[in-house]
Amino acid sequence: MKKIMLGTIIGVATSLWSCTQSTESNNIPNGIDHVIVIGVDGMSPNGIQKANTPTLDTMIANGASTMYARSVLPSSSSSNWASMIMGADTEQHGVTSNGWEITDHVLPTMVATKNGRFPTIFTLLRDQKPKSHIGAIYDWDGFGRLFDKEEVDFDIDGDHEDGTIKDVISYLEKHQPDFTFVHLDHVDHAGHSMGHGSSEYYKSVEKADLLISKVIEATKKNGMYNKTLFIVSADHGGLGYGHGGESLAEVEIPFVMFGAGIKKGYAIEETVYQYDNAATVAYAFGLETPQAWIGRPVKGAFIGNPKPTLRYQRVEQTVAPKILPDMGYFEASGGVYKADSVAVVMQNPSNKGEVRFVINQKEISFENSTVYKDTFYIKQTSLIKAAVFEKGMQKSKLTLGNFRIAPKDKENPVKYQIYYGQKLEKLPDFNSLSVIKEGATLNFSHKNVIKEGIKSEQVAIVYQSYLQIDKPGKYHFFTNSDDGSKLYVNNRLIVDNDGDHGVQERSGSIELTKGKHLIKVEFFNGGGGYHLDVKYKGNEVLKQIIPIDKLHLTK
């Protein structure tokens, strides 16, 4: 009796499994014979929204889109192009920085193909649809090191954006490929050279829009258009002259789907991450994705699929208050002052709710905060935290004001030495270089050091000062830098933030006694945007930029 029942159960279970598999296999989108992914390096949602982009506007109106997709961290190019084609995050594929190479990296891949690489969308197509014609055409040669060249039929490093699109058009006309991946690099160049949000940046986005229109037109001429799914996205956004950090401006990216199999005017409300790009392509082709992938296809955008029911909705945050003076993109407001007192001014850009603040407190809440009404003055180093509150609830991100105040006769407490290097991708051997300039400055920062007469690229700086510790205990140190940095306490390496990367923070800790301790910071910028600030926290010391009143030239 038990055997009969068990056999019946197995039979029913097998039948149900078969039905599930059959249903899933039949859920392949119809009418898609070709997929073209166009990735525009550094193109932010802001770029599309503020530039004149008639092609993208048409794709959005007649397709599916979101301006709230997110890159992976760090928001650097290599990590995100890898995730875009690999359907996985950095902790799976191991491409954790722009310094990654197949034979030189820190984190090994979780799984690998026979050639030692994490499986890409190219891998899946080659394995499961071996007759597919696959092309990769890219403007940045670094993209070419991320995939196995044996898995594509057409692989070319284009000649800038115009040459790249010319190659794409020629390829489409000649082969009518199943899958084409296109990479454009000129928008990222504009962001690094002229700044994200500059008129030049928006012009570069407009050119990307024009180039995308040429690709679409090419598919119309060769008969591919009606059976082609187009996906347009980016690797990251940007802030100031760089990227690599955790701000929304750097992390948020557009994701646009248009053409065969896609709903018209569909606003994608489900979350979309960088690694969902490859999973969506795989879904369009009916490919089985490997267990190591974490990407999910954006199924709701395809005709015939229901809009997903979302239990949790995307948060729409109120604009955070401003604390003046604003010190730039990556540093807290406030600054360094040699003065008896400093004015604190706040603004509420959205005019919603009320701005509430705390001074030298770890957390901010409605109960422990004060309503900002007018300018007030502080006479000593202070850490100010402010946010917009509505009906007793915090509705905006936190804004920090890090005011560092010292007496007017305080000497500049940080020594610095400037060096020039060549092809810097990590901190140089300073013993092999000559000092270009030296002096004393206010703090461990690129400001007041990299200035007129000093190169901003291929430059390295060594800072040194003595930090006064008032209470013994464990202290944590942080460097936030673009590119690399290292911090030493009493000649012991505490923070290793070296390498070619965007603004990122690294930390380390050490037990310190009461008294003065030698702090040395090494920093370099290879090219593009740059930044450095140094923070600490410890025994009754909140995390903050090391204040000028605690730094000294001598012991």
End-to-end CA distance of the chain: 88
Residue ranges of domains in the chain: 30-301, 322-406, 414-552
Q: How far apart are CA 163 and CA 157, in angstroms?
A: 9
Pick the CATH number of 322-406 from 2.30.30, 3.30.310, 2.60.40, 1.20.1740: 2.60.40
372-396 CB burial, b ≥16 within 10 A, e <16? beeeeebeebbbbbbbbbeeeebbb
Q: Are 421 and 428 in contact (CB under 8 A)?
A: yes
Interior angle at CA 512, CA 510 and CA 517, nearest 5: 105
Question: Residue 20's pLDDT is what?
Answer: 35
Q: Which helix (H) or strand (E) holds 168?
A: helix 160-175
Question: Residue 455's pLDDT is what?
Answer: 93
Alpha-carbon torsion angle 152, 156, 160, 164, nearest 10: -60
Question: Residue 14's pLDDT is what?
Answer: 39
Q: In angstroms, what is the C-alpha Rg of the chain?
A: 27
Q: Are 206 and 52 in contact (CB under 8 A)?
A: yes
Cis peptide before 74 (omega within 30 of 0): yes
Question: Residue 452's pLDDT is what?
Answer: 83
Give me 149's structure tokens: 């060249």
Q: How far apart are CA 293 and CA 111, in angstroms?
A: 10
Q: Are 449 and 472 in contact (CB under 8 A)?
A: no
Strands 492-497 vs 504-512: parallel, antiparallel or unpaired: unpaired
User: Partners of 394 in the beta sheet?
Assistant: 389
Q: How far apart are CA 240 and CA 397, in angstroms?
A: 20
CATH class (in words) of the domain with range 414-552: mainly beta
Q: Please identify every stretch of the chain with a pLDDT value under 70, giving residue numbers as ranges.
A: 1-26
Question: Residue 131's pLDDT is what?
Answer: 97
Interior angle at CA 326, CA 325 and CA 328, nearest 5: 145
Q: Are 544 and 475 in contact (CB under 8 A)?
A: no
CA distances from 432 to 199, 427, 428, 460 (A): 41, 12, 8, 12
CA distances from 169 to 155, 172, 176, 177, 234 (A): 14, 5, 10, 11, 20
CA distances from 215 to 178, 179, 368 (A): 15, 13, 57
Burial of 453 (0-12, 13-18, 19+ CB in 10 A): exposed
User: Partners of 473 in the beta sheet?
Assistant: 512
User: Which are the contacts of 35, defined by CB distance < 8 A and separation ≥ 6?
Assistant: 178, 179, 180, 228, 229, 230, 231, 281, 284, 285
Coil/strand/helix, residue 166: helix
Question: Residue 79's pLDDT is what?
Answer: 97
- Strand segments, DSSP code E, in 260-396 are 266-267, 322-324, 333-338, 342-347, 354-359, 370-371, 376-378, 382-390, 393-394
Question: Residue 18's pLDDT is what?
Answer: 37
Q: Fold for domain 30-301? A: Alkaline Phosphatase, subunit A (3.40.720)
Coil/strand/helix, residue 155: strand
Q: Write phi, then psi, for 206 (nearest 5 degrees).
A: -65, -35
Give me 46's structure tokens: 């802001």
Question: Residue 222's pLDDT is what?
Answer: 97
Coil/strand/helix, residue 486: strand
Residue type, 382: S
Coil/strand/helix, residue 35: strand
Q: Which helix (H) or strand (E) holds 187?
A: helix 186-194
User: Partners of 393 in the beta sheet?
Assistant: 390
Coil/strand/helix, residue 334: strand
Interior angle at CA 501, CA 466 and CA 102, nearest 5: 130
